[in-house]
Homo-oligomer: A and B are copies of this chain.
Amino acid sequence: MTEKAADRRSFESTDDNRVAGPLIHAQQIVFDDDIGLELGGRLQAVRCAYETWGTLNQDASNAVLVCHALSGDSHAARHDPQDDPGWWDDLIGPGKPIDTDRFFVVCPNVLGGCRGTTGPGDINPETGKPFGADFPQITIGDMVTVQKQLADHLGIYRWRAIIGGSLGGHQAMSWVSRFPRCTDVCVIIASSPRLTSQALGFDVIGRNAIQTDPHFYGGQYYDKPRRPDTGLAIARMLGHITYLSTEVMEKKFESDRHDPREIATSFEQRFSIGSYLAHQGQKFTTRFDANSYVTITMAMDLFDLGSSRLQLMETFGDAECEFLLVSFSSDWLFTPRQSRDMVNALTALDKSVTYAEITSPRGHDSFLINEDIRQYAPLIQARLGDLDQEPHQISMVESLILDEIPESASVLDLGCGDGHLLAELKRRGHQKLVGVEVAQSGILKAGSRGLNIIDYDLNEGLPAFIDNQFDVVVLSATLQAVANVEMLFDEMLRVGSRAIVSFPNFAYRELREDYVIRGRSPKAPGEFGYEWYNTPNRRFPSIADVHDLCRQKQIRLVNEYYFNASTGEQVRADQDPNLNADTAILVIAAD
C-alpha cells in the first residue's frame, strides 16, 4: 500500500463524504401554525428543510420517510451521478433497496438541527438574536411533529415506510407510538427505546465539554469571532470512539500506533489515533453547530419509551404497521440486547415483526457501511413488497407436520431455517406465522420471503412470546441441537396450545446394529458425514427417551407418527417404532 493510500485509509471514516456546503437540493417549507413543544413552549414560523427523490404516486401510497442520525442531514442520497454523495447512498437510489424509481423518498433535517430546519442558530423572533442556548428543549416527539407537518404539506397521510438508524430509529419509534396508523412499515436500525446509562454518560461529558468551552458564551457565540469549536471537537471525538467497535479501532490504529499523521491542529498528536481524532473533531466543527449538538443529544438522552416490557407494550400497543428491527453484534452503543427488549414487547403484542442481529465487526457505524447494508437491505426490500419468490421444497417429514396443523392455525416455527415451512403455510392461507432462527443466512432468506423471523437463540427460551400465543409450535429437526431441552419443552407448551416435535430416532435398528455389532457410537440418520467427534448435535434421544421425558413432565401425547425418512414407509405405533423407525413426529400438549 502506498503511503498516500495508508494515510487515506487511516483517516477514512463513514463521515468522510460529509460536506459543509449548502444543500443545493434541499427544499424548504415554513409552517404557518406555531409548533407546540412537548416540554412546554412554542416555536413560531418553523422552517423545515428536506430533500425528496422519486415521484409521489396518485394515491400518495408510495412515500418513504427517511430519518437521519445525530450528525446527518437531508442529503441521504445523490440526486444524480454528479451530485455530492449522500450518507445512505448504498440503500437509496434508482434500483437500490429503497428504490427511488418506485418510491417517493423524503428526508427532512431534524428540528433543532443546523442544516436547514429551525434550530438554535436561528433568530428568536422575541429577541431578534439567535436562540443559542435559549432554544427551547425539544424532544424526539417535537422532531416528529415537524415531520408530520411536512407530511401534511406534501399530501402524505400514511407512509409506505418510515426508516431510520440510531437517532433516526428513535424518530421512527416516536412516529408509530404517537400516530399508530401513520405507516405500513416501521424500520428501526441500530437503535433503542432509551440510551444505555453508559451512552448517556458519554453524551453528558460531550455537552459539558461544549458548554464549558470559553467561547461558548451561553450559546450566544454566533456574532463572536470565535466559536466553541474546541468543546465541540472534543464532544465529537468522544462520539467517534463510541461508533467504532474495538476490532475496527485495532485495525485502524494498531500497526502505526506511534506514527501520527501530521495535521494542523493544537490538539494532541502523539499517537496515530490522536491525529485521527483531532482531524475528525476539527472537521466536524466546520459543518455542525455546537448548540445543535447540545440540543439534539439532549433530545436523544431524554428519549425514553420505557425500560420494562410492560411499558414498551403500552407505548406500541396501538401501532398498526409491520416492524423490522436490525441490530449489529459489535455495536456497543446501541446494543442488540436493547433491540431484543423492543422485539419482546412487539411480539407480545402480536405485532408483525422481523428482527435480525447482523454479525458484523464494524460497531455502531455498521448501519451506514456497505458490507452491512448488503446484509440487511433484503429485509427492507421484503417489507417494501419486493419478496423472494423462490419456490420452496417440502420434505416428507414436513408434509406430515403440515397435515397436523389445523387450517388457519397460528404457527411458531422454532429453528425455521430458511423459512420454507412457514412459506408453505403462508401459501395455504395461514395468517399468523412467526419463525425463530439463529443462523444469519436462514434469517435473511426467510426474511426475504416476507416472513416474520426473530433472531433468537432457543437455548434462552422463548422470552419474546406470551402464554398461549400460538395454536401450534413446531420444533422440526432441531431438538438434537438444543442444549436446554427441558426448558424449551416447557416454553413451547407455555407459548403454544400444542407442539409438534420431529427428531431422528437414536434407537433405530440400523443404529443399534451399528452400535452393537461394530461397537461404534451410533450415527443418527441425516448426520451427513458427521462423526462422533465433530457432530454439531448435542442430544441423541430415542423415541422412547422422548416419551419418557413427556411422561415425566406430564406432557400429553396427542398424536404420533413414525417412519423411515429414506423409504417413506410409515411405522405404526404397534410396530415397535423405537426399533423400526428412524424418524418420529410427536404432537404434544400440556396436560
Contacts and interface: CB of A to CB of B under 8 A. Distances in A.
A490 B534 CA distance: 14
Interface in A508-564: 512, 515-516, 518-521, 531-534, 538-545, 548-549
Interface stretch (A192-200, A353-361, A392-400): A192-200
A385 to B, nearest CB: 39
Interface string A146-186: 00000000000000000000000000000000000000000
Interface size, A (range): 35 or more
This protein's copies in its complex: 2
B270 A301 contact: yes
A419 interface: no
A249 B270 CA distance: 31
Interface stretch (A203-211, A408-416, A421-429, A465-473): A203-211
Chain A interface mostly helix, strand, loop or mixed?
A: helix
A515 B521 contact: no
A89 interface: no
A580 to B, nearest CB: 11
Interface stretch (A60-68, A251-259, A432-440): A251-259
Nearest to A505: B519
A254 B540 contact: no
Contact of A254 (B197, B249, B519): B197
A205 to B, nearest CB: 5
Contact of A533 (B197, B266, B539): B539
A304 interface: yes
Nearest to A230: B212
A214 B544 CA distance: 78
Given A201-B249, A268-B208, A518 B532 contact: no
Given A198-B249, A254-B307, A520-B507, A540 B532 contact: yes
B237 A205 contact: yes
Contacts of A304: 257-258
A273 interface: yes
A417 interface: no
A254 B194 CA distance: 11
A71 interface: no
A519 B270 contact: no
A565 interface: no
Interface in A351-374: none
B519 A515 contact: no
B518 A257 contact: no
Nearest to A337: B246
B512 A540 contact: no
Nearest to A233: B208
Nearest to A229: B212
Interface string A270-284: 110110011000000
A35 interface: no
Contact of A197 (B212, B252, B486): B252
A250 interface: yes
Contacts of A534: 484-486
A327 B507 CA distance: 46
Contacts of A301: 270-271
A506 interface: yes
Contact of A208 (B208, B234, B332, B507): B234
Contact of A204 (B274, B532, B538, B545): B274
Nearest to A196: B246
Interface string A296-312: 00100110100100000
A277 B542 contact: no
**Residue from A201, A307, A520, A545 having most chain B Cβ neighbours under 10 A:** A201
A250 B196 contact: yes
Contacts of A307: 254
A221 interface: no
B515 A544 contact: no
Contact of A234 (B205, B244, B520, B543): B205
Contacts of A237: 201, 204-205, 208
A238 interface: yes
Given A208-B268, A238-B205, A253-B200, A533 B507 contact: no
A204 B486 contact: no
Q: Which of A253, A257, A519, A545 has the most CB of B within 10 A?
A: A519
Given A307-B254, A512-B515, A521-B542, A212 B198 contact: no
A109 interface: no
A543 B302 CA distance: 64
A217 interface: no
Given A257-B304, A267-B208, A271-B204, A196 B249 contact: yes
Given A196-B246, A238-B238, A519-B543, 16 more contacts: A197-B254, A201-B240, A205-B237, A207-B268, A208-B267, A212-B266, A214-B214, A486-B533, A507-B520, A516-B516, A520-B548, A521-B545, A532-B539, A532-B541, A532-B545, A533-B545
17 contacts: A198-B244, A198-B249, A200-B257, A200-B271, A201-B249, A201-B277, A208-B234, A212-B230, A212-B234, A212-B266, A214-B214, A246-B332, A521-B540, A521-B541, A521-B542, A531-B549, A540-B540
